[in-house]
Amino acid sequence: MTKRYFGTDGIRGKVGEFPITPDFILKLGWACGRVFTREFNREGGCLVLIGKDTRVSGYMFESALEAGLVAAGVNVKLLGPMPTPAVALMTRKQNAEAGIVISASHNPFYDNGIKFFGADGSKLSDEIEHAIEAELELDLQTVPSRQIGKVVRVEDATGRYIEFCKSTVPEGFSLRGLRIAVDCAHGATYHIAPGVLSELGAEVITMGVQPDGFNINEGVGSTDMAALSKLVRQQKADIGIAYDGDGDRVLMTDNKGQVIDGDELVYIIAMHRLATGRADAGVVGTQMSNLGLEIALKKAGLQFERAQVGDRYVKAAMEANGWHLGGESSGHIICSDVTTTGDGIVASLQVLMALQAAKGNLAALRAGITMYPQTMINVAIGGKVDLAAYPALGTAVAAMEQRLGAEGRVLLRPSGTEPKVRVMVEGRCAEQVPQLCAELATEVERILA
């Protein structure tokens, strides 16, 4: 059954435009409280944690969610600005029924959204999301006054998460001698990532650590790597690390400022695990994962499976196969033997473990993977669209695939977070791929107009 509000990762949109409005978010908090109480309730009442990134509208939506939840009889703990994976962790550590993150991840400040975690620190099931949407159709009714929830603020959440991140590397692991440039996107990792890396011994050069509510992801972070690449070269850093606004993604650069994307980072982690005897039989990627990753992993003797785009689908495929590593080219990497969800800081530490073990540099670690040229163009649309309802799209894709031949791929998919259709073309010829992608994007725009 199609969801009305939930997308690939929660509910997201422009602030002030339905459904990202204070009245809807209040109702959403109430609906969530009703479902969580019914589905997860235990003796002593239902507890939900709320964290947020640094965008200015987070204060407004934190208050709205809080009001809706307590009106449904749910107790609330406020974590303040925290990375999305930190909220997942704290949900487990605090024995809460659910965790909620107010964030639009890599989007600009004028967008916002709501993400959810269950008690186990994993994303909510489709069934729970459908149940929440059903409650949203009902009239809001506050529980009796004696049953109204209570709210407290968790003061030491940052310190707890820093210690957790450090615990994901072996005792005695050190980053001494490494000069690391870190870009926190003026987002939720600004007060955490530099501390984790410096406490492990690295010399840390920071950027994107002065959030003002409006500058999140603006010219910084994993969605805009140019400034970090320049900083790495200027400061002669050994490595650059960039997180996105809510800290669940990471991209890196080598010492020359060359960007290393999520597919390459997954490869580096997989090869380190293979070398240390910790590798599973395979790795999970997505429909967007570069063909070069699949070829390199199979050459190393590892299986590779593609899931739908979205970390919940990557995680589901990992669990089905009994594998512990999966990720997306965007830098959303899941190491499920370490934590329950994609975590930019944890993933970067996994890469740094590989770097220190090899006593080399990132350029050398990624030498075993040859990335195929890949171009993606976002075609703006008016709203949600069912691509299957447009047979002409299938015809256009088939024609493009024929032109690419056996060593190329084409993918069309609606974005789960923005009103766009993503058009991706991949092949061997670096000159041909951008041109073909532009042609296909133009055709998609014409068909959907």
The catalytic site residues sit at 105
Return the structure tokens found at 408.
């190329």
Contact 436, 427 (CB under 8 A): yes
Place of tokens 């011994």: 201
Cis, peptide link before residue 194, omega less than 30° from 0 = no
**Environment class of residue 189 by beta-carbon count within 10 Å: exposed (0-12), middle (13-18) or buried (19+)?**
buried
Q: How many CA atoms lie within 13 A of 442 on its CB side?
A: 6
Q: Are strands 47-52 and 75-81 parallel, antiparallel or unpaired?
A: parallel
Tell me the DSSP string of 302-371.
Answer: -EEEEE-SSHHHHHHHHHHHT--EEE-TTS-EEETTT-SS--HHHHHHHHHHHHHHHTS-HHHHTTT--P
CB neighbourhood size of 303 (10 A): 14
Q: At what angle do helices 344-358 and 157-167 cross, to 10 degrees?
A: 30
Query: For 363, left (φ over 0), alpha (ψ -120 to 50), or beta?
Result: alpha
